[in-house]
């Protein structure tokens, strides 16, 4: 049932301004943005309504609005906004706010939102992994024998299993609150629930894997290419990690894998795709700022961590193959630090967009919210060519 009580939150407007949506006050509600957005639908056009909700400080509406997550920040709307109100950046700022809003525990949401906490956030994994090295007597000199990262397995396993359990619990709490809010604050159409939850999940998986809506963005389609590299690069590395973890711990797989092993080939391709995707994203955000729009601290932090994760992974392998024991162990140490940062802070960083966007897409399909129709899209293209 829709919640008819409208509560304005002035602090929310200040937060959105700080998170990169400072231009929102320039909006005069002309609706050009909703017309040019290729992802906006007839039944729930966006981002005009989000602009007015943000101006009014309607926090509850916005943190429960699935349309905020159906936007891929292509920048088409900002390019055509006659007032320079940058709706794409405002939508991104609302998503960043959501990470904080649904964070559990709350202080972690604040910690990931500001650079002043960055040294502390890195200090935690650095100290943990230094303790591991110290306990193995490897802090001052590399261990004897062939270079083998498996010697750290027992300690590393304990750290990452404990962290993963905490992350899953925190995410479950945040996502469950997000779903309940969407269900409470959006008007249910006659089609609500008709797709069924399993079908909605399957359709959402298909949408995420194919990036089919992301592809519809015009003004900044290079973002789609970069995102594809990052997404599939990371997916490949995730699959490889799962295979190696189970293979090693359950089936006593012989490690390290030979370079011609299909799993190793997948790992190397995944790392290259991840680095290439991040490089495209950096180029887009730095070299094409006029089209890409402003990037927030959340964007830079997430991209940088992913980039260095890929670089240190490849570097560790090259150093190991070259026989530089000390350098390869230290490179592995730094790599583990980035892995920890990415996994351990998942629910509070931009990495969480993966799960919030997925849940919002599932909800939109479950609630019967319409997709932009083909005839509407061609109409929008016409508007653009005239504009
Ligand atoms: S954000 Fe820009 S294009 Fe959209 S309604 Fe406001 S002024 Fe118009
Ligand atoms: S950034 Fe792109 S997808 Fe998002 S609202 Fe604007 S036009 Fe639509």
| 111-163 pLDDT, tens digit each | 999 999 999 999 999 999 988 888 776 667 777 777 878 777 778 888 999 99
**Every domain range in the chain assigned CATH 1.10.1060.10:** 10-102
Identify whether the C-beta of residue 330 lies closer than 8 Å to the C-beta of residue 33.
no
Q: Which of 32, 33, 77 to mutate to test the pocket of ligand 2 (most atoms within 8 A of CB)?
A: 77
Segment 331-376, tens digit of pLDDT: 999 999 999 999 999 999 999 999 999 999 999 999 998 877 544 4
What angle (nearest 5°) sits at the alpha carbon of residue 295, between those of residues 268 and 19? Answer: 125
Burial annotation 140-160 (CB, 10 A radius, 16+ → b, else e): eeeeeeebebeebeebbeebb
CA distances 178 to 62, 175, 203, 290, 355, Å, are 11, 5, 20, 33, 11
Residue ranges, CATH 1.20.950, the chain: 106-366
Whole-number pLDDT of residue 243: 94
Residues 6+ apart with CB under 8 A from 179: 359, 363
Query: What is the CATH topology of the domain spanning 10-102?
Result: Fumarate Reductase Iron-sulfur Protein; Chain B, domain 2 (1.10.1060)
For ligand 1, residues with CB inside 6 Å are 27-33, 48, 51, 81, 83, 85, 87
Q: State the virtual CA torsion across 152, 167, 235, 248 in degrees, nearest 10.
A: 30
By most ligand atoms within 8 Å of CB, the mutation choice from 30, 56, 387 for ligand 1 is 30
CATH class, domain 106-366, is: mainly alpha
Residue 6's pLDDT is what?
66
Task: Report helix angle 353-366 to 87-101, nearest 10.
Answer: 100
Burial letters 231-250, b for 16+ CB under 10 A, else e:
bbbbebbeebeebbeeeeee
Which pTM was predicted?
0.89
Q: How far is the CA of 50 from the centre of ligand 1 (A)?
A: 10
């Amino acid at each position: 049932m829709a919640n008819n009580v409208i509560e304005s939150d002035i602090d929310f407007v200040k937060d959105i301004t700080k998170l990169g949506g400072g231009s929102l006050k320039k909006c005069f509600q002309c609706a050009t943005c909703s017309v040019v957005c290729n992802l906006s639908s007839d039944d729930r056009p966006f981002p005009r309504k989000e602009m007015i909700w943000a101006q009014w400080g309607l926090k509850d509406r916005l943190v429960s609005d699935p349309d905020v997550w159906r936007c891929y920040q292509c920048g088409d709307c900002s390019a055509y906004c006659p007032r320079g109100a940058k709706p794409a950046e405002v939508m991104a700022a609302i998503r960043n706010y959501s990470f904080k809003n649904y964070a559990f525990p709350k202080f972690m949401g604040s910690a990931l939102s500001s650079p002043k906490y960055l040294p502390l956030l890195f200090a935690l994994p650095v100290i943990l992994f230094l303790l591991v090295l110290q306990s193995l007597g490897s802090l001052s000199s590399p261990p004897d024998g062939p270079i083998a990262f498996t010697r750290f397995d027992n300690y590393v396993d304990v750290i990452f299993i404990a962290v993963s359990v905490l992350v899953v619990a925190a995410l479950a709490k945040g996502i469950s609150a997000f779903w309940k809010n969407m269900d409470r604050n959006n008007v249910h159409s006659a089609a609500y629930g008709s797709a069924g939850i399993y079908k909605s999940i399957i359709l959402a998986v298909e949408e995420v894997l194919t990036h089919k809506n992301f592809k519809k963005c015009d003004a900044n389609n290079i973002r789609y290419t970069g995102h594809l590299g990052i997404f599939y690069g990371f997916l490949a590395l995730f699959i490889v990690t799962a295979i190696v973890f189970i293979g090693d711990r359950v089936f006593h797989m012989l490690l390290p894998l030979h370079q011609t092993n299909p799993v190793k080939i997948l790992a190397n391709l995944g790392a290259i795709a991840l680095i290439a995707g991040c490089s495209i994203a950096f180029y887009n955000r730095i070299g094409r700022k006029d089209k890409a729009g402003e990037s927030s601290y959340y964007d830079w932090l997430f991209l940088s961590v992913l980039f260095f994760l890929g670089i240190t992974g490849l570097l560790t392998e090259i150093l190991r193959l070259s026989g530089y024991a000390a350098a390869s162990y230290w490179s592995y140490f730094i790599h583990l630090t980035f892995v920890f940062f990415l996994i351990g802070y998942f629910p509070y960083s931009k990495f969480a967009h993966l799960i919030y966007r997925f849940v919002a897409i599932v909800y939109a399909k479950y609630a019967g919210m319409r997709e932009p129709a083909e005839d509407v899209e061609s109409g929008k293209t016409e508007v653009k060519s005239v504009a």
